[in-house]
Structure 1
Amino acid sequence: MEARGKERIRDFATYMGFTHRKITPLWPQSNAECERFMRSIGKSIRAAHTQHKNWKQEMFTFLRNYRATKHATTDVSQAKLLFGRNIKTKLPTITPKYQDNEIRETDKRKNDKMKNYADTRRNAESSDLKIGDTVLVRQDKQNKLSTPYNSNPYKIVERNGTMLTAKRDDGHMITRNSSFYKQVKIPPTIVNSEKEQEQEESSTQLRTSGRMNIAPAYLKDYVK
């Protein structure tokens, strides 16, 4: 059933001409625009329910006003970008002229500003994890005795930007953002001890000392 559902989504994307891009699990920041919009819709539905109004009608009213309002990032309403004109609302408006290049430059400038602000607040650092590294995966806290990271180590097998896929020895795979991983290094003593053990197992010849044993002079009378 799951495979059939994925096939239908793939066929629908091909038919409509868009690319279906998966986001990182448990990382809503990668789909922040949709997450923030769902928050606004939920607020309007709760307000309609509190005022005993038809929530579907109020949701349509909210969507109409949202699409006619100038966007904070592009400085242009979504209806203007889609239809090339502003849609009619109950508020009087003046339609200014915009250039497509100006909108793109404004969008890029404000997106970069928001990213720099978020990175500064979170003390974000670039991840240097690469394929083949041994890592631990952050886990949810179940009780006071649970550790922040799962003690079973994984190895990075795939990287797509900040989305990393790791695999465990038993075959279990997990995909998370790079902030969910903590790199661990195998101590050199363990590696050296394993090599020494292999050398001892492969060697069958015993070592003997070449030193000659000579009896001391005061024992000459006792030596036959």
Structure 2
Amino acid sequence: MTQRARKLLGEFLGSAGLAAAVIGSGIMAANLSPDDVGLQLLQNSYATGLALAVLIAVIGPVSGAHFNPVVSLAERVLKPEDRSVHETGLYIVVQIAGCSAGAVLANLMFDLAPVSISTTERADAGRLLAEVVATAGLVSVIFMLVRAGRAAIVAPAVGAYIAAAYYFTSSTSFANPAITVGRMWSDTFAGIAPVSALPFIAAQLLGAGIAVLAVGALAPQSALPTTGKVPQGT
């Protein structure tokens, strides 16, 4: 297998694992605590944060563990020497495919239909603003740490950030276009209706753009050390 094929396989499997963790833990939480939405969210955020940290730590050495199109796009702007435009495009394709496959896997693990289109509408003004904030924060955490020469702590930092952002954002911090697409395919606790997905993705792209500007201003390459490839993801 070529190096590029290994990277793309890593991104696919990691994205699938992330979607399975997000959606599967949401289904389990709803089953375990059917009358307590707050407890459901706690269970979902706890499992997602831990799973994300582990996936980044394990797959980071293979592909950089982006699992997220906005991370790949931000890397292309901030560290263009790391990946070509073509490879970045391939990353985004396999991330979306992986998250969709992970959604199907989560549904099947809980004896649900492989695909059930979500009916949960989320795209009101407050939650779209929350997605801008959540995504800007995620991308900033990643690249500020990388530019500070602290890439080794990106995995736990990202897991902790996403788990916390479940609570301090009204959108519960999707912060990832690929997982947004994947969550359309499960009409369960973590799902999002297709009508809400495109506005969410637009908000995520805006948030990523804000983060790129912030990182460029706060941590220019000339001021801080750089280290290796970008580990990453939600």
Normalising by the residue count of structure 1, what TM-score does the alignment of the two structures yield? Answer: 0.24
Higher percent of residues as strand: 1
- Flag the structure with larger Rg: 1
Higher relative contact order, structure no. (Cα contacts within 8 Å, ≥ 6 residues apart) = 2
Give the helix-richer structure, 1 or 2.
2
